[in-house]
Amino acid sequence: MEIDFVSRGQLILAGMSFYGDPFKDAGDWSAENEIGRLCKRFMDFKECHRTEMAALKSGDDFYEVHIYNDETEVKGFFEVFVGCALDRVNQPPLELSLKILPAGHYAVIALKGEQIISDWYRDLDVELAQKGWQRSYPYFFQVYDQRYRGLERIAESELTAYIPVQPASKTHLDG
């Protein structure tokens, strides 16, 4: 897996969230798990509100953000947010929430085909440390653009994952 490092500005997203264990009822990468249901709910909303959404969003890319907390390790609970990027903070429809992701450094991983549904993130902290980096915030996001063909065509699909990072501290590298 190749990792590139970039600096990004603040990212403003409008979308919908789920909090809990998204895999409780169905496994990873299933349209029947809570992430799949959330994506469908957001896409249905976008379709029904095309004019409003066209005025708000910046491009057609779709973002999926995973936000971790103290309950993640213990209960498997985390927030999943799906949405689209905005050019600026606008007044979104009431049904949508905003997430403002901070500017900073990101590890960028291009995922293709079966890599997308693999456990690519399992050894990520070790790989980052070997390159002199560590995670800076407890979240990551994936960008679904025209290269993503859907679960039924995963072998033909590509997406990009962004993990916020900072230079590893000397004690972190030594420890």
The answer on pLDDT for 68 being more than 70 is yes
Q: pLDDT at position 15, please? A: 95
Whole-model pTM above 0.85?
Answer: yes
Measured between alpha carbons, how far is 27 from 172 in angstroms, rounded to an integer?
A: 34
Name the token pair of 15: 């979308």
b/e 163-172 (16+ beta carbons within 10 angstroms → b): bbbeebeeee
**Residue 114 vs residue 167, higher pLDDT:** 167
CB 12 within 8 A of CB 81: no
Name the token pair of 98: 């905003």
Q: Could you give the domains of the chain?
A: 4-174 (3.20.80.10)
Average pLDDT of the segment spanning 153-168: 92
Question: Is 129 in a helix, a strand, or coil?
Answer: helix
Q: pLDDT at position 173, please? A: 45
